[in-house]
A = this chain, B = another copy of it.
């Protein structure tokens, strides 16, 4: 199957350090180099909600995630193409990864029909019908101009019948080959997605189908979709080290700070999740002393920065009492400032992991993080 894209060199990925299963590396993409392990904030509709591109740069964001399904519907390909792609439209000059839309389309349970060709669905905005095929999804991502495109996959909800999972995986593999064949822009890297739920045997089966394909990287999909956390960790622990060693490993849709640390220790290089942004808008801060719910009365007169150990623009300028006031008064600045902190916190945590891997002391770093998270933010 290697003849599918014979002329496309893989995106350069250099692993500079390892520490147990963890790796620190550099992934070179069309819009810049990404240091791994890395977290990607979610910018579904061409904006990380509440943050400008300048804010993102200030929070040390290296690469963003955009959602193909949502961008295809709004603003649509014509508007994206007019701007020369998503980078130009949203004013973000760094790398962008887009998902394939598979996750969203398959979530439209009663509004979609799967065939070998692809998925017909009615969208959630105006109900109009569309067909997503592997070829179409690559075409959309090439219009978006993603630095990393994701192959079109089915992400079965868990729990899932074994039989269905096997058939779904095989179709996802056939779609993966079609995605590789559909590429026309060599500067847009393409990652494959390994499915198989929390059944390690099925994961290995699917990985065996995909690993020889010339993908620039490999993702674990279909996790963090409702399964128990220990099952997720077991699956990552078993499969992440078996993913092609010289390609980046991306765990989709994960997770909490604890998850990021645990899964970097298990060999994952890339993450995305809505938690720092969505929870930020809901008044929850991730800090070096655990989570802090800003609406609690205990913070009414608390003049400390949200996280005294944090150097972000929010912690440098504002008190917990002020953020609490903004949040309770339903001021949009609350969501902006807390999101900015959370994104900064996630990126700072990844920086800490990279530094620790380079120094061969990831376990000690992880222990220190976990000790901090167990303390109460109030006592900080």
Question: What is the total number of copies of this protein in its complex?
Answer: 2
Contacts of A333 in B (CB 8 A): 47, 49-52
Binding site for B on A (CB under 8 A): 45-47, 49-54, 74-75, 78-79, 82-83, 89-91, 300-301, 303, 313, 317-319, 321-322, 324-326, 328-329, 331-333, 335-337
A46-B322, A328-B74 known; A317 vs B53 contact (CB < 8 Å): yes
Give Cα A319–Cα B87 distance, bound, in whole angstroms: 12
Residue in B74, B83, B331 whose CB lies within 8 Å of A49: B331
Contacts of A319 in B (CB 8 A): 83, 89
Give Cα A89–Cα B322 distance, bound, in whole angstroms: 6
CB-based contact A52/B337 at 8 Å: yes
Residue in B82, B90, B326 whose CB lies within 8 Å of A301: B82
CB-based contact A336/B50 at 8 Å: yes
CB-based contact A332/B332 at 8 Å: yes
CB-based contact A332/B50 at 8 Å: yes
For this complex, 22 residue pairs linking A to B, each with C-beta atoms less than 8 Å apart, are: A46-B322, A46-B325, A47-B326, A47-B331, A47-B333, A49-B333, A50-B336, A52-B317, A52-B333, A53-B317, A74-B325, A74-B329, A75-B300, A79-B325, A82-B303, A82-B321, A83-B322, A89-B319, A89-B321, A89-B322, A91-B318, A91-B322
Report, nearest first, the 10 A-B pairs whose CB atoms are least far apart: A75-B325, A91-B317, A47-B333, A45-B329, A50-B332, A82-B301, A89-B322, A47-B331, A74-B329, A79-B321
Measured CB to CB, the nearest residue on chain B to A49 is B332
CB-based contact A90/B322 at 8 Å: yes
Give Cα A326–Cα B89 distance, bound, in whole angstroms: 11
A52-B337, A53-B317, A301-B82 known; A331 vs B90 contact (CB < 8 Å): no
Give Cα A74–Cα B331 distance, bound, in whole angstroms: 12
CB-based contact A79/B47 at 8 Å: no
Residue in B49, B53, B300, B337 whose CB lies within 8 Å of A79: B300
